[in-house]
Structure 1
Amino acid sequence: MTEPASAGRAVLPSADPPRAVLLTGGTSAAGRAVARRLADGGARVIVAGRDTEKLAALAAAGFDTVEADLVDPGQVRVLAEAVGPLDGLLHLVGGWRGGGGIPGQSDEDYRALEASFTSLRLVTRALWPSLIASPGARVAIVSSTAVARPLAGGANYAAVKAASEAWVRAMAHGFAKEAPASAATIFRVKALAGLEGRLADAYAGLWSMPADEANDRVSELPP
């Protein structure tokens, strides 16, 4: 069921903050906003990505960083070993390509977009033992409203986002069976620009929700 995300500021419980949260593809403006919000709530934040300069800036700001190509299985295994126990994962690997209607949905564009789904699969499989060992993990992705209403010019993009949502919902089923105190959530946006703060509050707020409410939840962030 799709529900609107809360417009209020969701405060991370100070008595029980997540011990460690990994932001994959977290060198973007959204990643920086989420990192600061979580750190303000008492979390240790680890940011993984490929941009050396942006990672260095985040490290200088006090965040742990890991440089990794998240579509490389070997590097993802190294990442999983490097970050150690985790209580949260926000997957921010993304991008957009489109246009040209159905004939214009090129294989090149699809392969570029598919990296977000491939990295999600690799990262969550590698981190699954750590996540189910947490006393209350929270996993989330940023998806798109295009999943509910795909357009011809964005068919590749909507297809990849739909696949990512299916994967996260399967994770939610896995949490319900293996780690019922944990949850997997989907945030949908029309466009993320300008919503970085809303995303940061919405993700941090997942720890203030009962796991069974946060698990398999699809929330739309307002424009």
Structure 2
Amino acid sequence: MDNDVAPSAASAPASGVAGRTILLAGGTSAAGIASAVALTRAGARVIVAGRDPEKLATVVAEAPGTLTIAADLTDEDAIADLARTVHDERGAVDGVLHLVGGWRGGGGLAGQSDSDYRFLERSLTALRHVSRAFDADLRESSAGRLAIVSSTAVARPLAGGANYAAIKAASEAWTRAVGQGFAKGARDGSRELNAAAVIFRTKSLEGLEGALADAFIALWSDDAEDWNDVIVELGDGG
């Protein structure tokens, strides 16, 4: 499927996610809380993983019933522990929304420091660890979904945001590779494609937290083949 064309998410019903087990990786931000609330209301079983226990407590206060797990998502051993805990507490997951992010930039090309790059690289590292740890779950689910939040900077990179755009571009490439793995596994097994990897692109998530939550929930309203390797634009793209 053309990776720039997405099914309509605006009018899709939310019932398809009911009963699904969803992991929000790095889900302590405003977008994570909005997603946890929306998913819980839609009948999903939500797990939020993040570093900060205080922020995790805030998630539970806003979305009662959410299972929170403190974990360093950039640490491979910690991710293995996270996967064991998730499986012990909730079983296999059906969906992962990757929300580990952050911004550092400015100063033109000369201002793109290595320390800023290493800070931004944490998002890609976490994505690699989490997607590998839960790959089998998503493949074996009757409707597995992996989604990341990327940036319009991938298509329109600026010198002052070169580090940021490079990390987002790499994250998109990784996610598309995950989707290719889903498709190949289905073909090799002579079975229907049940898992999809999706990229949400936006200029900024500020003010679009609810739109992201709705768009993620809508991924269960269509077949996996309609969503796999698809880029969904959130907002006007600015």
The TM-score normalised by the length of structure 2 is 0.89
Equivalent of 2:227 in 198, 210, 214: 214
Give the Å deviation of 1:2. Answer: 2.2
Q: 1:7 to 1:175 in 2, by over 3 A?
A: closer
Aligned amino acid, residue 41 of structure 1: A
How far apart, in 2, do the equivalents of 1:63 and 1:38 lie?
Answer: 10
Q: What is the 5 A alignment of 1:68-79?
A: 68-79=71-82
Q: Deviations over 1:190-219 (max 9, x none)?
A: 000000010000000000012111000001
Q: 1:92 to 1:5 in 2, by over 3 A?
A: farther
Q: 1:5 to 1:181 in 2, by over 3 A?
A: closer
Matched, 1:62 2:69: no
Q: 1:216 to 1:7 in 2, by over 3 A?
A: closer
Aligned equivalent of 1:8: 10
How far apart, in 2, do the equivalents of 1:148 and 1:201 lie?
Answer: 24
8 Å contact from structure 1 (residues 143, 186) kept in 2 = yes
8 Å contact from structure 1 (residues 5, 222) kept in 2 = no
The TM-score normalised by the length of structure 1 is 0.95
Aligned equivalent of 1:97: 104
8 Å contact from structure 2 (residues 7, 227) kept in 1 = no
CA RMSD of aligned residues (A): 1.5
Matched, 1:139 2:146: yes
Runs of 4 or more, structure 1, over 6 Å off, are: none
Name the SS of the counterpart of 1:53 in structure 2: helix
How far apart, in 2, do the equivalents of 1:174 and 1:196 lie?
Answer: 29
Structure 2: stretches of 5+ with no match in the other structure: 187-192
8 Å contact from structure 1 (residues 2, 217) kept in 2 = yes
Q: Paired residues, what number?
A: 222
Give the Å deviation of 1:145. Answer: 0.2
Q: What is the 5 A alignment of 1:16-165?
A: 17-60=18-61, 61-84=64-87, 85-165=92-172
8 Å contact from structure 1 (residues 11, 201) kept in 2 = no
Identical positions, percent: 59
How far apart, in 2, do the equivalents of 1:194 and 1:11 lie?
Answer: 22
Structure 1: stretches of 5+ with no match in the other structure: none
Equivalent of 1:185 in 182, 198, 212: 198
Return 16-25 or 113-122, whichever deviates more: 16-25
Aligned amino acid, residue 72 of structure 2: D
